[in-house]
Amino acid sequence: MGARRSPDDAPAHYQIRVQGALEQHWSRWFDNMTITYDADGTTLLAGPVADQAALYGLINRIRDLGLTLLLVARQPIA
C-alpha cells in the first residue's frame, strides 16, 4: 500500500522573504531558488519546492544561517 500525498504536500512554487541581503552564490544551497533584493533591505527567494519536507529543509537552512524569516508564501502554479 503506497503512501498518498495530500494536495498540500504536492510540488508548489514558494516565495520566502528574509531580512538582509543574501548573496547570489547561496542560490545553490537553496535548491537554485531565484534570489532578488527589495529596496527595503530584504531578500526574496522564489522557486519550486518539491514537498513539505523540502520546504522545512529550506526553512532550516535559513535558521542555520541566522537569518530572520519574514514570509513564507505558497504561490499558485500557472
Q: Domain locations in the chain?
A: 10-75
Q: Over the stretch 14-64, which tens digit does the pLDDT of each residue have? A: 999 999 999 999 999 999 999 999 999 999 999 999 999 999 999 999 999
**pLDDT (0 to 100) of residue 68:** 97
Q: What is the pLDDT of residue 10?
A: 72
Cβ density class 3-36: b for 16+ within 10 Å, e for less: eeeeeeeeebebbbbbeeebeeeeeeebeebebe
Q: Tell me the pTM.
A: 0.83
**Residue 77, pLDDT score:** 72
Coil, strand or helix at 21: coil
Which CATH number applies to 10-75: 3.30.70, 1.20.120, 1.25.40, 2.60.40?
3.30.70
